[in-house]
Structure 1
Amino acid sequence: MEPGGRARTGPPQPAAPGPWKARPAGGGGGGASFWLLDGNSWLLCYGFLYLALYAQVSQSKLCERTGSCFSGRCVNSTCLCDPGWVGDQCQHCQGRFKLTEPSGYLTDGPINYKYKTKCTWLIEGYPNAVLRLRFNHFATECSWDHMYVYDGDSIYAPLIAVLSGLIVPEIRGNETVPEVVTTSGYALLHFFSDAAYNLTGFNIFYSINSCPNNCSGHGKCTTSVSVPSRVYCECDKYWKGEACDIPYCKANCGSPDHGYCDLTGEKLCVCNDSWQGPDCSLNVPSTESYWILPNVKPFSPSVGRASHKAVLHGKFMWVIGGYTFNYSSFQMVLNYNLESSIWNVGTVSRGPLQRYGHSLALYQENIFMYGGRIETSDGNVTDELWVFNIHSQSWSTKTPTVLGHGQQYAVEGHSAHIMELDSRDVVMIIIFGYSAIYGYTSSIQEYHISSNTWLVPETKGAIVQGGYGHTSVYDEITKSIYVHGGYKALPGNKYGLVDDLYKYEVNTKTWTILKESGFARYLHSAVLINGAMLIFGGNTHNDTSLSNGAKCFSADFLAYDIACDEWKILPKPNLHRDVNRFGHSAVVINGSMYIFGGFSSVLLNDILVYKPPNCKAFRDEELCKNAGPGIKCIWNKNHCESWESGNTNNILRAKCPLKTAASDDRCYRYADCASCTANTNGCQWCDDKKCISSNSNCSMSVKNYTKCHVRNEQICNKLTSCKSCSLNLNCQWDQRQQECQALPAHLCGEGWNHIGDACLRINSSRENYDNAKLYCYNLSGNLASLTTSKEVEFVLDEIQKYTQQKVSPWVGLRKINISYWGWEDMSPFTNTTLQWLPGEPNDSGFCAYLERAAVAGLKANPCTSMADGLVCEKPVVSPNQNARPCKKPCSLRTSCSNCTSNGMECMWCSSTKRCVDSNAYIISFPYGQCLEWQTATCSPQNCSGLRTCGQCLEQPGCGWCNDPSNTGRGHCIEGSSRGPMKLVGMQNNEMVLDTSVCPKEKNYEWSFIQCPACQCNGHSTCINNNVCEQCKNLTTGKQCQDCMPGYYGDPTNGGQCTACTCSGHANICHMHTGKCFCTTKGIKGDQCQLCDSENRYVGNPLRGTCYYSLLIDYQFTFSLLQEDDRHHTAINFIANPEQSNKNLDISINASNNFNLNITWSVGSTAGTISGEETPIVSKTNIKEYRDSFSYEKFNFRSNPNITFYVYVSNFSWPIKIQIAFSQHNTIMDLVQFFVTFFSCFLSLLLVAAVVWKIKQTCWASRRRE
């Protein structure tokens, strides 16, 4: 975000009264600024200069000596890059490449890839050849920087993989390196990175007609007999699979006692009745757990999907909806037979549109589906409620009645459960989710099946924060729903993953905060088995500005003990390949967990099965009670029972370790009384609005949430959008902080100071940055964004009042990305009123505090470090909600321009043509659906809007049709490497080849990888194939891409240039817009047609010029120092004498030489072309001038409209000019002064004599008496 414009001075103000008056600099320019360097500063500058020159010389010598140009050649000590490569060593990809060898490598470069880059590789084989991509190394920013792989020669071919994050095999090294396969004979790879941070990039090996994974070292590559151009793996004994990567019949299945190996059928172990496991090595029942990958029949790639939902009905797992790369052959409804491992496609003729991120809940024979994102061009989030009847395999819709003043939220990424309440009412409970209108919802929604009604109930207990992509399970024993993780909006206008665990009691509608897992994630799965909630997989990436190694795709396996409120980490699946994923589903049958699908760069279609230990296998009471982790058992009547069977009467019996109260630091995170007391950490709410450990001392504490007074701030702070905030009458949306705040009872409140438009509060407690933010947040504020001088002065003055202790407080300034510091209110840090101390900011610091108040000095520190104090800020808000109406939600903005018009609130995805909230970008495109996004500048929505070949080939879906003139003219068209393409199917956006729009037989040339050598935009032919011979049509530039000085327009691709129209007040204009660079200060307008009347300039530039109207007896300073003044070479002034009997003196001086002309006139039309002016003074190349104009000579008395004109011209920028007109008394006026003086003096003497005579008379009279 660029800083705003500079402030301009206002009109002149009178100084102190007197015969000569002065005023501060102003009148039309910014003030001067000076840069003063002491000796140390100069030494530092010279040091940097020496290092820079030394580095450049060293680099040049290195280039000459070793030829260290990664993709280029060294010429004259400079690397000249090959096409598609950039950087001082040609070390970054930036363009398109075509690879035709049978095998090879492609990479982004030898070091970290470049910010904001796009690279595309086309691998061309032969028709229908099998092309394998082997990702030996891949490390990009998860969820933001993607590699797209298409099975074809364009982005309109089928998408088969979207890679992001760290793809590092976790087992058996090289043999599990992921492979992606195309079968069209082509592969198009497109890479996009944004501006946040970069990683090491990728190294990809490709090969045509090769065996998968080199047969994993367990077989040999053999040519097919039926298809000689194909090869296949011939596996060694006890290995199977396309790549010979699946072992079978380990240890011969323990034959003959445990089982036998089926060598002729499916090649697996067939276990005897008392044995189980992949190798028949475990007893039935067993005290050990294991994972298996069952053979699925039929195995169809079209089954693969993510963000679908699954429910269990009998022996069938019903799968509905989900995201896929290609919906043309997508089946909305599937079922999987868990006994026979067979997939079946539901025979459904009509039903809902495809969607993902919805919820499913089963009741009797009906599956209820709610919400989700409909996968259409606009990608709407819906509030549709559909019911699928399993028996008839038909869909029907429900339109519930919304009770009271409630709201039905259209959400995605939520969850749902159906249960019978104690009231005998059957209800579907919808938990959280993300709404495109209302943001992240923290509400519970209830659908009452029998009455077909909808409501949002009031809840009690802890105040929880809802989100997207959490998981939840319903426990029949505790009658509670357990909700874990998700992607949420966090305090301080942040967002990210969480590891929260909540419990919602469905009958009492009460929330309780349980122990968090310690492993944040979203789009994971959860099931409930034997009193343990098992969490698998998910997206665990939560990095912001640096990578800490978190992976997009996880195979983490966690268990939560419901009875004991304890988390345990379970071993990851020990299978022959990695099973990392997110967006999958999980169900439970017969005590086993079945996981289906998900996303791991590719859409997965496999089934994972987890078999937990069986409580019946434990013969000892102590072993039974301590069984686990991942299982809960109860010893009952000399045998071990499962948690469910042992708690049939809802009496929880469990052996749990003794819990101790949490520390104060752990309790500090709870910002309100209800959340502090409705949790299992042992906290209490103290009277000073702070949550502390129940073991800590407190004069007045609350330990039960029912005793808490619910404050509006607690409710409002959880509302994450303006729309949701406006639904609560006690809340108001703060546009500056982008958060919902409680309406204040007073402007600031007790303990706050009203400074400008903000309320400030300083606290001297020692905290780290996050705890400091939390302290401010508890007071409905945030760490202070000190963006005005008034706020800074107040803080500095207050800090210096602390004489008994050192106060170096945190302020709301933190490092946003690798090179950008910003305030907590998202405004940029400008380093003006507050400045960094020498050597700051250091590389290790990401948060800022005031170290030395006397010099307004900032230092950077790790956010986890402690600082002595903090400064809080909250806005002064108006209690009138209607005064701040909500802006249109991002999701309702349909073009890039209106999407990005309000700063950083919204982001525009050009490939999907959707506008989304900035805090919801990742969840809006969880599978990399957005190829490129914008927040400021907008690119054309179609290829046809791109005017040059260079711009055209930057967009992965475009190609360039060069016309026969071979001068650089052409058309940008959607296309592939084979030629242009056109849209034939609106529903599925199907594109087909259409060479008629760029006919080769008419000498048109199609360019897809590189632009034609001659790029003169149609204004010149080329010599030496790529050098424009002579730019014509008023153009200039290396590629005739600009208009000549004095002309404007867009000459690219044959465009025209037009002469500047500047009313005679400019010689040049902006080469693209035609806005004139007026040469006379005070003249403005695109065509220099207006006078700057707001700053006291008068006149008519269409008939003459503009003048600054000077006041008499004032001095004016004009500082033409800003970049806006660069083109000014003249300034004019006008003055009218105020007194007819005094001379008019003029004084003018400047920092540079100038020409001076002074004229006068008595007509009202003077100063225009038709007016008559009489010259008085004409000087050239001077720096100062003084003169006096006689009131008698110019007859001021007879010419009341006399006007003097001053023309200052031919100066160079920058310049400072001082000018003054004055009228004061001459020496002859001293006679009048002395006459008056002596008259007064004689009068006083006469009065004194009279008084003295009267006094003498009175005294004489008294003596006579």
Structure 2
Amino acid sequence: MLAVLSGSLINDKRYSYRVAEITAKSGRVYIYFYSDAAYNMSGFNISFSIDSCPRNCSNHGVCVGDRCTCDADYKGLACDQPICPNGCSGHGICDRTEHKCICNYGYIGIDCNQIKYEGYWSLTSTTNQPGGRALHQSVIYDDTMMLLSPSNQPRYLHSASLINGLLLIFGGNGHNLTDENTSTTCFSPQFLAYDISCDTWTILENPILTNTYDTTMIGRYGHSSIVYEDSLYIFGGFNGLMHNKLMRFIPGNCSNLETMDDCYSKKIGAKCIWNKEKRLCQSYNQIKYSFQHCDENLRVNFTELCQKQFICSTCLRNSYDCVWCGDQCTYQKCNGLLKPKESSIKDVSTSSTFLKSINDAKMCESRDVHISNCDKMHNCHSCQSEHYCSWQRDRKCVSMMYEKWSEMKLDSMNLADKLQVNCAAPCHTRTSCGNCTQGSCMWCSSQQRCIESNAYSIIYPIGQCMEWTTHPHKCSVISCSDIQTCDDCMKNPQCGWCDDGSGTGAGTCMEGSLRGPNNPNDSTISCPEWYFTSCPKCQCNGHSKCRFPGICDQPCQHNTEGVNCERCRPTFYGDPINGGFCLPCSCNGHGDLCNSETGQCSCTTKGIVGHNCDKCDERDYVGNPQDLNGSCYYNLSTSYTYTFNMSKPDDLFYTRINFINTPLSPEIDIEFSVQCQDSAMVNISVGSSSNSSKCVIFHFILMNFFSGMVVIRRLYEGMRCGNIKLRFAYTDLGIKNATFLVNVYSFHTPFLLQISFSQHRNIDILHFFLTFSGLVFVDFLIS
């Protein structure tokens, strides 16, 4: 690997930092672009050249072969370095023989623009220089842990060294702030100083090397630093490239600062103190320290910092001069009244309740230790390891305690085990992408490792993880062996396509490089043709060949279709990608089409359901579609009108609907009506059972009628469905215990129909007249 570039690389208008030019000498280079979706970046610009000189000689020279011949006023491998930049800034003379500035006394730098006694940076030459490296150092000072003033410049992987009363912080990764559009540089060149005795921070001038034009190597993280003979040395680090150069910072000289204002205000990388008796500016090591030498303007707002401490122990273990007041932290003193229930001191003369403050952390109850740990736990397992903590649904660790304050003593109750949340398996125990992404974890395919999602940047700070996911559905395209198409294979930087040589585009995605698949000596691996940066021109998924480059011969074979034979033909389903199969749809004769991937049938008869149209909708339909000529029928009740509106997306493929009706009384005529909004056909049939029991008839129909054991008589066939009204006299049917079947078919959705069966007893006119007349005559006699 030549380089890994990530995040905001340059963010300093005052300095001309630039990204290093990367040269590949092997004759080939593979560039992979990947967005990890973790940060809000604004994109990038990239340019390249082949068989050229560095930076094309920066327009200040002529390229001869692969080397630059520079113009008279420029030097360097890329002719990008003026021999005397900025006219030596007026503080030196240009020596054209030596091609450099000769600086006046007290000045330094390639353009003599830096004052020597204010401190400066330079590259230090070494012998037997080691290779580039990063992430290899640590420093310990003192053994006391307490909160100090914050720098408000968050970072990690920086260096820290003590020199003359100052803790010098250099570089680091500010990548975690780019999601807030602050454009903090990923590889920071920032130089900070923390005054230990004053508990204050100062931002120093960013490094400018005095003896080199190279500005590509300043910002970095993962480097080491050490102090030797009053100089700070920085070695190695990473900013897309591994560095092996040694940088040196020589702090300024306090004795050259002639006034008290300059003594305290100049940022020279050394702690200076004004000696009032001698009226001299001296270094921290030369004069006894006292508080009045601290710049109060550099102090942070301690009142605000104290208010952010919610635990007695953390309130008192810091440099903010806080005091603990009952249940809150305040600056220097307690300044409010307490509720009567709190522990306090009562002023009898005023009858007021005032707060008694705690100033010593030893007076804090031991339960503080447990509570203060809870908010520092960022996953379920570490949270539950603390006896007083509980992991919440909002992914926060909180303290589960109740408190009773009585005579400055705290009674605590441990969290019951039954209230503890059951944690999922830790990320580091998950060994596959599938089970890793089922939890709050991240799967790194290039490392084959499952990690905590919030630990990605710190575990892989120098580009070790080139492909990761937190989504289970993406697991299938992370491992090379799971990728089925050459196009997807090319998108994974560790994969290449092994073509089977058939000329149809079929092959296997495998791990490898431009030189070929990994483990080429493995006898089980046979690769007739290897592709790593592009795919074979003929991509027909193994179902056709190309007489013309990139154009599959049509029609495709093996029941496939498409420009690349990439899908199954209608009435077939499967996955034809890369030589896969297409199988016929199996719908029991109740449909022709099915889902091209799953084979789920699109049933054409309403009421028939199931993957293969093999069962009836049990809510309203009866029958058995798996029998020979079997189907499903909607059971119509007598003397009700039913409306069927088939206009929903699920109704798209319906062309038929069946009905069944058993009259309530076998000796009453039946009236039938059906109305269709659009064109359709209707068949009406009738069947019979030898048993007059209604329950038996219904059971008989379910068990025997649809299996062909009952003789059916067709009453009407092929009627056009418009507005049909029919009456069936039971005396004309000649069938005892009749059951009606109605088939409405040959329609297309959306489709609307109404259907009903009804029964009404016939009125005997003669009997009615005689009865009515008799009643009238009787009424006449009575009157």
- The TM-score with structure 1 as length reference comes to 0.47
Equivalent residue, structure 2, for 1:524: 158
Q: Measured at CA, do residues 1120 and 561 of structure 1 come closer, stay the same or move farther in structure 2, by a change above 3 Å? A: farther
Q: Secondary structure at the match of 1:922?
A: helix
Find the partner of 2:48 among 194, 200, 205.
205
Correspondence for 1:726 among 365, 380, 384: 384
- Residue deviations 1:624-673 (CA, integer Å, cap 9, x gap): 5666464334567857665467679xx87743417999499877766667
Q: Is 2:624 the partner of 1:966?
A: no
Amino acid at match of 1:888: A
**Match of 1:306, as an amino acid?**
A
Q: How does 1:834-873 map to 2 (within 5 A)?
A: none
1:446 aligns to what? none
Tell me which residue corresponds to 1:598.
237
Gaps of 5+ in 1: 1-158, 224-228, 310-359, 362-416, 418-473, 481-503, 505-510, 746-877, 985-991, 1000-1004, 1229-1265
Tell me what 1:1077 maps to. 602
- Which residue in 1 is equivalent to 2:768? none
Q: CA deviation at 1:1186?
A: 8.4
Matched residue count: 705
1:982 aligns with 2:518: yes
CA–CA separation in structure 2 for the residues paired with 1:538 and 1:909: 24
Q: In the TM superposition, what is the alpha-carbon distance from 1:183 to its structure 2 partner? A: 1.4
Task: Specify the alignment match of 1:1102 in structure 2.
Answer: 626
1:738 aligned residue (372, 395, 407) = 395
Identity %: 36
> Do 2:384 and 2:420's aligned partners in 1 also have CA atoms closer than 8 Å?
no
* Residues 1221/741 of structure 1: CA separation in 2 closer, same or farther (3 Å cut): farther
**For the residues of structure 2 that align with 1:884 and 1:1223, how far apart are their CA atoms?**
65
Cα deviation 1:97-124 (Å, max 9, x = unaligned): xxxxxxxxxxxxxxxxxxxxxxxxxxxx
Other-structure match for 1:920: 455
What letter corresponds to residue 119 of structure 2 in structure 1?
S
**1:1059 is the counterpart of 2:584:** yes
Is 1:1020 paired with 2:555? no
What are the Cα deviations for residues 908-931 of structure 1, in whole angstroms up to 9, with x where unaligned? Answer: 333333333333333343222233
Measure the CA separation in 2 of the matches of 1:550 and 1:620: 36
Matched residue SS, 2:516? strand
Matches of 1:1116 and 1:732, distance apart in 2: 59
Separation of aligned partners in 2, 1:517 and 1:949? 51
Q: Deviations over 1:811-839 (max 9, x none)?
A: xxxxxxxxxxxxxxxxxxxxxxxxxxxxx
Instruction: Using the TM superposition, give the Cα deviation of residue 1038 of structure 1 relative to its aligned residue in structure 2, in angstroms.
Output: 1.5
> AA paired with 1:523?
L
- Determine the C-alpha separation between the residues in 2 that align with 1:1023 and 1:918: 50
Between the aligned partners of 1:671 and 1:1226, the Cα distance in structure 2 is: 91
- Paired with 1:647 and 1:901, the residues of 2 have a C-alpha distance of 61
- The aligned residue for residue 178 of structure 1 is 20
Letter of the 1:951 counterpart: D
Structure 1 residues 771-830: Cα deviation after superposition (integer angstroms, max 9, x where no partner): xxxxxxxxxxxxxxxxxxxxxxxxxxxxxxxxxxxxxxxxxxxxxxxxxxxxxxxxxxxx
Q: CA separation in 2, counterparts of 1:729 and 1:923?
A: 28
8 Å contact from structure 1 (residues 240, 248) kept in 2:
no
Q: Do 1:684 and 1:702's aligned partners in 2 also have CA atoms closer than 8 Å?
A: no
- Could you say if the C-alpha distance between residues 880 and 901 of structure 1 is closer, same or farther in structure 2, counting changes exceeding 3 Å? same
1:953 aligns with one of 473, 476, 490:
490
Q: CA deviation at 1:606?
A: 1.5
Q: Among residues 101, 121, 130, which one is paired with 1:291 in the alignment?
A: 121
* CA offset digits 1:1129-1181 (Å, max 9, x no partner): 55566777889999999998888776666766721414643454856787867
Q: CA deviation at 1:293?
A: 0.9
CA distance in 2, matches of 1:599, 1:1222: 88
Per-residue Cα deviation, 1:408-445 (whole angstroms, up to 9, x for no partner):
xxxxxxxxx4xxxxxxxxxxxxxxxxxxxxxxxxxxxx
TM-fit CA distance, 1:294: 0.7
State the match for 1:613 in structure 2.
252
Q: Which letter does structure 1 place at the counterpart of 2:518?
A: K
Preserved contact between residue 1166 and residue 1173 of structure 1 (Cα < 8 Å): no
Q: Which residue of 2 aligns with 1:568?
A: 202
8 A contact 1:980–1:995 mirrored in 2: no
Q: Alignment partner for residue 1087 of structure 1, among 588, 612, 616?
A: 612
The CA deviation string for residues 501-523 of structure 1, in whole angstroms up to 9 with x for no partner, is: xxx2xxxxxx43x4332322222
Q: Is the 8 A contact 2:106 2:117 kept in 1?
A: no
SS in 2 for 1:190: coil
Alignment correspondent of 2:5: 163
Residues in 2 aligned to 1:1148 and 1:520: alpha-carbon distance in whole angstroms: 78
Structure 2: state its 5+ residue gaps: 339-354, 403-414, 690-696, 765-783
Partner-residue secondary structure (3-state), 2:454: helix
Offset at residue 1024 of structure 1 (A): 4.1
- Larger RCO, structures 1/2 (Cα 8 Å, 6+ apart): 1
Q: In the alignment, is the contact (CA less than 8 A) between 1:683 and 1:703 conserved in 2?
A: no
Q: CA deviation at 1:1051?
A: 2.4
- Aligned: 1:581 with 2:215: no
Partner amino acid for 2:540?
Answer: C
Report if aligned partners of 1:175, 1:216 keep a CA contact under 8 Å in 2. no
Q: Amino acid of the residue matched to residue 6 of structure 2? A: S
Shift of 1:179: 0.6
SS in 1 for 2:578: helix
Give how far 1:720 is off.
1.5
Partner of 1:1037: 562
Paired with 1:1192 and 1:673, the residues of 2 have a C-alpha distance of 99
Q: Does 1:1169 align with 2:707?
A: yes
Structure 1 residues 189-268: aligned runs within 5 Å: 189-193=31-35, 199-210=42-53, 212-213=54-55, 231=67, 245=81
**Alignment of structure 1 residues 807-846 onto 2, 5 Å:** none
Report the CA distance between 1:696 and its aligned residue. Answer: 11
Matching residue of 1:891:
428
Q: Name 1:89's counterpart in structure 2.
A: none
Q: Which residue of the partner structure matches residue 538 of structure 1?
A: 172
Q: Using the alignment, how far apart are the partners of 1:1107 and 1:708 within structure 2? A: 79
Distance change >3 Å, CA 1021–CA 722, structure 1 → 2 = same
Q: Structure 1 residues 1009, 177: closer, same or farther in 2, change over 3 A?
A: closer
Structure 2 Cα separation of the partners of residues 671 and 1113 of structure 1:
76
AA at the equivalent of 1:231: R
Deviation at 1:997, TM superposition (A): 4.0
**Matched residues in 2 for 1:165 and 1:899: separation?**
26
- Does the aligned pair in 2 maintain the 1:292–1:610 contact within 8 Å? yes
Q: SS in structure 2 opposite 1:594?
A: strand
Question: Kindly tell me: are residues 1084 and 1064 of structure 1, through their superposed partners in 2, closer, same or farther at Cα, counting changes over 3 Å?
Answer: same
| Displacement of 1:887 | 2.0
Quote the Cα distance in structure 1 between the aligned partners of 2:754 and 2:324: 66
> SS where residue 4 of structure 2 aligns?
strand
3-state DSSP class of the match of 2:489? helix
Q: Please list the CA deviations of residues 257-301 of structure 1 after superposition, one character each: whole Å capped at 9, or x if unmatched.
A: x9xx9x99x999999xx98966899999x752111111122234x
Residue 836 of structure 1 corresponds to: none
Structure 1 residues 1078 and 292, CA gap change in structure 2 (3 angstroms) = same
**How big is the shift at 1:879?**
7.5
Equivalent-residue separation in structure 1 for 2:621 and 2:591 (angstroms) = 18
Contact 2:133/2:242, CA 8 A, preserved across alignment: yes
User: Does the Cα contact within 8 Å between 1:1017 and 1:1040 map onto a contact in 2?
Assistant: yes
So what's the TM-score if we normalise by structure 2?
Answer: 0.71
CA distance in 2, matches of 1:676, 1:1138: 86
| Cα pair 1:676 1:691 within 8 Å, conserved | yes
Could you tell me how far 1:1060 is from its partner in structure 2? 1.8
Distance 1:559 1:1111, change over 3 A: farther
Map 1:191-590 onto structure 2 (within 5 A). Answer: 191-193=33-35, 199-210=42-53, 212-213=54-55, 231=67, 245=81, 287-300=117-130, 303-309=131-137, 417=140, 474=141, 476=142, 480=144, 504=145, 511-512=146-147, 514-542=148-176, 547-575=181-209, 576-578=213-215, 579-590=218-229
Letter in 2 for 1:201: F
Tell me the SS of whatever aligns to 2:517: strand
In structure 2, distance between residues paired with 1:1182 and 1:667: 85
Per the alignment, do residues 242 and 1032 of structure 1 end up closer, same or farther by CA in structure 2, a change over 3 Å counting? closer
